[in-house]
Amino acid sequence: MALPTKTDEWVLESASSTTFALHQNNSVPIQPLGPDDVLLEIKAVALNYRDLAIARGLYPFPTTFPLVPTNDASALILATGSAISTLPVGTPVILLPAPLYTTGPMTTTTHAALGDGNLPGLLRRHVVVPASWVARYPSHLSFLEAATIGVAGLTAWNALFGSGLPGIAGGSGPRGVRKGDVVLTQGTGAVAMFAAGFAVHAGARVIGTTSSEEKVKWLKEVGVDEVLNYREDERWGETARKLTKDGEGVDLVVDVGGAGTLGQSLQAVRYDGTVAVVGFITAGDTGGPGPGLMDVLPRAANVRGILAGSREQYEEMVGKMEDWDFRPVVDKRVFGFGEAREAFEYLWAQKHIGKVVIDVGR
């Protein structure tokens, strides 16, 4: 079969606070294949809040426009460079958001490779990347499901299991959330979905929040024990703490809201517990910087920023997902390649549950 030399891609021209400045380019030349590269046919792309934030000018890291958006995909290897012998043509793979971050603590180099929004974007039908950027495909998942795990799944995994902090790990014991711990997740978005699901599988008690009564049912279905409505109960963090044994607080909060939610997250967490700071969804809603020193200190809490996760953590996660037969939740509406703008708008309107995915072959 002749290999493709041209492809179609979506381009984001600039950041705009009012619209998604996206357009589709067809028959764009595919970059030549170097000896250490692989040519991939992208099968499915998952959207992340990051992609909205870049498009709407809310992303807190430097970004150069124009760019091909998105960094979360499943793909099939169509061809390999002359130096690649271990990845047969036809192998399904995942693209990692931080491919240079292999193990241990993040470094300046691995952060730079992750945070600038300038890695080759994946909202295209084909891409050439270094072979070292692709990762093992979870054997039990469809392409649509697998596209969702590289960013949101790995981030949630890192938040739950990526630290030896005593608040969530118990000194020299196994890392991360364990049976009997109490975990608080926020909302029904992608990271929360993975975090709640992983925590349930690890045997934790999970308290979730949402803004919508309809979504309470979904949270209960994935095993969340108690659900609080953060719109009706502004002091949901204090309420969550009262739900724990002796009102001591939860072991871990996976905070996706940022400035607008951290205050209540710090109310929910127990002494020496951990708030994993993952997201900044409320960045557009709040004028101020959020809580400060005197919110953290009296709670004697660990506040841990999360930046995706390492390849080692990814391997751990995929192994457990296979053992648990853990399937990500893909929103009931899946978009075709030509409907990328609609997919961005759908995610922006927060109509989704779980992951918004684009089926690139459709």
Ligand X SMILES: NC(=O)c1ccc[n+]([C@@H]2O[C@H](COP(=O)([O-])OP(=O)(O)OC[C@H]3O[C@@H](n4cnc5c(N)ncnc54)[C@H](OP(=O)(O)O)[C@@H]3O)[C@@H](O)[C@H]2O)c1
Interface with ligand X (CB under 6 A):
48-50, 53, 151-152, 155, 186-192, 209-212, 215, 230, 256-257, 260-261, 278-282, 306-308, 347, 350
User: What's the closest the beta carbon of residue 87 comes to ligand X, in angstroms?
Assistant: 26
Query: Which two structure tokens, joined as six digits, stand for 5?
Result: 């030399």
What are the residue ranges of helices labelled H in 3-131? 49-56, 108-115
Question: For residues 40 and 256, which CB has a smaller minimum distance to ligand X in the complex?
Answer: 256
Nearer to ligand X, 184 or 202 (CB): 184
What's the Rg (C-alpha) of the chain? Answer: 20
Cβ 97 to ligand X, closest distance in Å?
7
Q: Which is nearer to ligand X, 59 or 137 (CB)?
A: 59
Closest distance of CB 307 from ligand X, Å: 5
Q: How far is the CB of 226 from ligand X (least distance, A)?
A: 14
Mapped onto helix, strand or coil, the DSSP state of residue 178 is coil
129 vs 353 by CB, closer to ligand X? 353
Report d(CA 55, CA 112) in Å as an integer. Answer: 20
Do residues 307 and 201 lie in contact, with contact meaning Cβ atoms separated by under 8 Å? no
In whole angstroms, how close is the CB of 257 to ligand X at the nearest point? 4
For 241, the enclosing helix (H) or strand (E) is helix 236-242
Least gap, CB of 352 to ligand X (angstroms): 6
In whole angstroms, the minimum distance from the beta carbon of 253 to ligand X comes to 11
Minimum gap (Å) between residue 355 Cβ and ligand X: 7
Residues with Cβ < 8 Å from 253, sequence gap 6 or more?
183, 184, 186, 237, 265, 268, 269, 273, 274, 275, 276
Closest to ligand X by CB, 142 vs 212, is 212
Hunting for tokens 């953290």 — which residue is that? Answer: 296
CA atoms within 13 A on the CB side of 75: 30
Structure token pair of residue 325: 């037969």
For residue 272, what are its two tokens?
């020496």
- Nearest to 82, CA basis, from 31, 127, 37, 130: 37
* Residue 77 or 196 having the CB closest to ligand X: 196
Which residue minimizes CB distance to ligand X? 189
Q: Which is nearer to ligand X, 28 or 307 (CB)?
A: 307
Q: Which is nearer to ligand X, 102 or 350 (CB)?
A: 350
Terminal-to-terminal C-alpha distance of the chain = 21
CB half-sphere exposure, 338, CA atoms < 13 A = 2
Tokens 């169509």 belong to residue: 78
